Structure 1
């Protein structure tokens, strides 16, 4: 046993490489994963619901997109392949997650449009037309709120954020908190105990 969490900056667990496969919008994805990152052995159920139920970007989507808490990169890779005119910023504190995301982007031929970075490496002036996140609820409510206070204001005026949160982990209370913070929040979908929230200004 180690003390690693998926939000550990430098996981000490041996990598134990593996592959995670899923299908989205008629395309098969086979992504490299490893121990010490979020949902290392499969596409996380919340992420699966988010990608299935949210409005995916398309060829007309431009600008910068943000995958907040990228893990090994399933959301990043989906966004980059679906929106060939957009740049995807994959933000994660976990170094192994960033390495895997970059490697998976290269495997898919989209590395030129993917930036796998730490939170502090994102240019401060950059705004995002879309933010996507299966946020790390287990870091605790205060850290989660702090994270969303930091990143949601980076939405462009007509931008949209897509969040997925398990109902039993506080999906409905997070919805209320976001409204209290002045955001427009729509429960876009519910499936398998997860809430997909659409957040706009």
Structure 2
């Protein structure tokens, strides 16, 4: 897996567009994908585990949610579909990914509530009731830690973050690291080599 899929603002891969289909919580999705964007050939297995095992928001969920490293937008689109009263920020440094995520939001009629942005475009004052991420473990521990240290502190006091991490790429050590920073971390599921972690602040229930 080339790092071009992760922290590259302008991917070098030739543009080849396609579609993928998947089902989450009984709802069918058909999203546009393209080369140069993470897991363009299928719904990434880690993302699939996260969406299957984590606690998806319900129809009454409100507030603002965040998808870190949104790619073409599968997680953000599911969140916005499941929680029609919430606003969802979908962030990615990859411009091609952002274009696809915005296109997919429009396809699903979510464009008014799903805000696709580069990380630096998210207003500083915004906090999040939920943060979701299948973070880019291939970029290395230092970059991964910096990513989470940037965004997890923006959880609302009663907020929750859902992360999926490949066990063989540091899932257990990341769990330990987060606990060392003072976060409350529960391993909710372990499936197909992935850990699903629920992260809350010290004051949360």
Q: Give the TM-score, by structure 1 length.
A: 0.98
2:184 matched residue in structure 1 = 184
Instruction: Give 1:15 deviation, angstroms.
Output: 1.5
State the partner residue of 2:31.
31
Helix, strand or coil at the partner of 1:4: helix
The aligned runs of 1:115-130 (5 Å cut-off) are: 115-130=115-130
Gap change, CA 1:186 and 1:34, over 3 Å in 2: same
Q: Which residue of 2 is the match for residue 71 of structure 1?
A: 71
1:75-131 per-residue CA deviation (whole Å, 9 max, x = no partner) reads 010001000000000010000000000000000001000111011000001000000
**Structure 1, unaligned runs of 5 or more:** none
TM-superposed CA distance for 1:5, in Å, is 3.2
Deviations 1:124-150 (A, max 9, x none): 010000000000001110111011111
Q: CA deviation at 1:3?
A: 7.7
2:176, 2:160 → 1: CA distance?
17
* CA deviation profile, 1:19-65 (whole Å, cap 9, x unmatched): 01100111110000000000011000000000000000011111110
What SS does the aligned partner of 2:161 have?
strand
Structure 2: segments with no counterpart, 5+ residues: none
In the alignment, is the contact (CA less than 8 A) between 2:165 and 2:195 conserved in 1?
Answer: yes
**Cα distance in 2 between the residues matched to 1:26 and 1:150:** 33
Alpha-carbon separation, structure 2, partners of 1:151 and 1:64: 13
Distance 2:100 2:144 in 1: 24
Number of residue pairs aligned between Structure 1 and Structure 2: 200
Q: Is residue 69–residue 134 contact of structure 2 (8 Å, CA) maintained in 1?
A: yes
Compare 34-43 and 10-19 and name the one that shifted more.
Answer: 10-19
Report the aligned-residue RMSD. Answer: 1.0
